[in-house]
A and B are shown apart, each in its own frame.
Chain A
Amino acid sequence: MTTSSNSPNTSRLSRAWNSDLAWSFRQTPVAMVSAFVVSILILGAILAPLLAPYNPFDPATLNLMNGFTPPSQPNAFTGDVFVLGTDDQGRDVLSTILYGMRISLFVGFAAVFLAMLLGVTLGLMAGYIGGWVETIIMRIADIQLTFPSILVAMLIFGIAKGVTPPEYRDQMAIWVLILAIGLSDWVQFARVVRGATLVEKNKEYVQAARLIGRSQFSIMLRHILPNVLNPVLVIATISLALAIIAEATLSFLGVGAPPTKPSLGTLIRIGQEFMFSGEWWILFFPAATLLALALSINLLGDWLRDALNPRLR
């Protein structure tokens, strides 16, 4: 071993760089391109306030007369030019996409996080504790699976809308989306984690940890959890793409983000109304962004699944 790689600073980095995962990554152009696209888009979303030429969420800055400006052409009335054109409200499409992506990604990440939290916790409990805990959890999972996610989301949306005080309704939509998508998605995490836990818990090291008197919680956390993370990571990636699409689908059914603070899905829902009328950019750019985002995440998930599964290599 060289001395440089032993110094604590570089060793972790270089170990990460030299790890099998990173190696497989460097060997897979699709993964690299996807990761590049995803990072660009996520970065664009995070930095939207800095990057976007306008703030489409601030109604005071909008000029309705700028509506339907084609990309990179001056508006007939105001003479303003927008790189990707404007939508029906005169919002800059580029800015709206950047800000909309923030919402879509936030909903996606938060929903997946919620699903993961629920699924991993319940899956660990079901697998490790077993008995009636397992029965109840897995029964609930079955019930959840029997009910189509889209209807679950609509039900949750309906109820949440009713119980939230009107002054919070504006922000509510996003949280309800997260809740709805997250709640309809936890089952697959729970199933995978339970399965893996059942395998792991009979292994020697877990038995040993139990013998030396570690608490159940710490055994689950320290010993079993790291071993089930790989499949969880893969499911999480795919779920992220699904969640972003689910948000778009729900917005078509009128239970998505509000049009004043549109997500990518809401933008597409609005944009498709202008499909026949020639204002293609209102639909095209958000749809292309969504496609790029979801496709890249899916491709990354595919690669991750293959790369993390040593038997497949």
Chain B
Amino acid sequence: MLAYIIRRIIQSIIVLLAVGFVAFAMFNFVGDPVDNMLGQERTQADIERLREQLGLDKPFIVQYWHFLEQAAQGNFGLSYRQGRPVADIISERLPATLELAFVSGLLALFGGIALGIFTAIRRRGISANVIMTLSLIGVSLPTFLIGVILIYVFSVELGWLPSFGRGEVVDIGGWSTGFLTVSGLKAMVLPAITLGLYQMTLIMRLVRTEMLEVLRMDYIRFARARGLREKSINFRHALKNTLVPVITITGLQLGSIIAFAIITETVFQWPGVGLLFINAVQFVDIPIMAAYLMMISVMFVGINLIVDMLYFAIDPRLRVDRSSGGH
């Protein structure tokens, strides 16, 4: 078990290094930060000087090495755009993204599992089929359009919900939360739906498929043959077995929520790291971009690891296999 975790961590570090390498190779092509940093009145000499100062005249591999050296000491540099430490900026913005991802994730997970179970159990029912078809609309339109449509309907036409931002936030020990104010909660609704809808549909369909698969298993027939109630069969026997494969995919889906937040945050001006990243791309704020990509990779690797552990916890077969398998 411990060996397994260590192996996974080593793998993760390789992934991180690879991601960083690719990222730095890319930065050269995003644009030239110097141009944004100097005003309209800058001269050619100013450009040269600043490029040299920033180390942008060096090959990207050298820049990457420099970044790694600094990052290893916990220093991600200063944002070109804001002139403040990248670590500060990201830690300011992270709560917004995590709260949004959390709510969307809950929505996707519970909505997806509930609807997935419903549509699997009532496979031939009309309502289940209607839900299945409607759910496809959620994945048949691009996220940004759904966001804009929601804004149009619920903010502009109906005036029920705010169209942008987080509302009022309360700061608790450096973590700004929107959960404690009415406006913060209201502001959460539209972005969370926009972000969660797609994942919810995927999870729902996954749960349905897996559940149908499980419901055909011998042990379900056997459970029926023993006269267990449908409720107990569906929720105690089928659901638990359904969740094993669902957890892997769901874990990864929840991870991609953080990535897809880029789009939702742009549409709703949600002040999270996704918006920060898009701003950074526009401004070629390399320190921010590098830190963001690294952070996303770390998160994903972490989620992966947690998913594996969950897998472990939920499926007793693996416990034996792994511990006796000599991995």
Contact = CB atoms under 8 A, between A and B. Distances in A.
Q: Do chains A and B touch in the complex (CB under 8 A)?
A: yes
Interface of A: 30, 139, 142-143, 145-151, 155, 158-159, 161-163, 241-242, 245, 248-249, 252-253, 265, 268-269, 272, 275-276, 287, 290-291, 293-295, 298-299, 302, 305, 311-312
Interface in B114-144: 132-133, 136-137, 139-144
Nearest to A295: B140
Interface in B248-301: 252, 255-256, 258-260, 262-263, 278, 293, 296-297, 300-301
Contacts of A149: 256, 259
Contacts of A275: 148, 152
A249 B259 CA distance: 13
Contacts of B300: 146-148
Interface stretch (B15-23, B177-185, B224-232, B312-320): B15-23
B111 to A, nearest CB: 18
Contact of B144 (A142, A249, A276, A305): A249
B174 to A, nearest CB: 27
A252 B142 contact: yes
B306 to A, nearest CB: 12
Contact of B297 (A146, A265, A299): A146
17 contacts: A30-B133, A146-B301, A148-B258, A148-B260, A150-B262, A155-B22, A155-B26, A159-B25, A242-B139, A245-B139, A249-B143, A253-B263, A253-B278, A272-B144, A290-B140, A291-B141, A298-B139
Interface in B140-159: 140-145, 148, 152, 156
Given A275-B152, A291-B137, A299-B133, A146 B304 contact: yes
Contacts of B216: 311
Contacts of B136: 294-295, 298-299, 302
Q: Is the interface of B mostly helix, strand, loop or mixed?
A: helix
A155 B255 contact: no
Given A158-B26, A275-B152, A148 B142 contact: no
B222 interface: no
State the 5 A-B residue pairs at the shortest beta-carbon distance, nearest first.
A162-B29, A148-B259, A294-B140, A248-B142, A158-B26
B90 interface: no
B132 A302 contact: yes
Nearest to A151: B259
Contact of B142 (A146, A147, A245, A302): A245
Most buried by A among B23, B255, B259: B259
B28 interface: yes
Contacts of A302: 132, 136
A148 B30 CA distance: 19
Contacts of B29: 158-159, 161-163
Given A139-B11, A147-B19, A311-B216, A298 B140 contact: yes
B297 A147 contact: yes
Contact of A287 (B133, B145, B255, B297): B145
Nearest to A301: B136
B212 interface: yes
Given A143-B18, A151-B296, A312-B212, A294 B263 contact: no
A150 B142 contact: no
Nearest to B22: A155
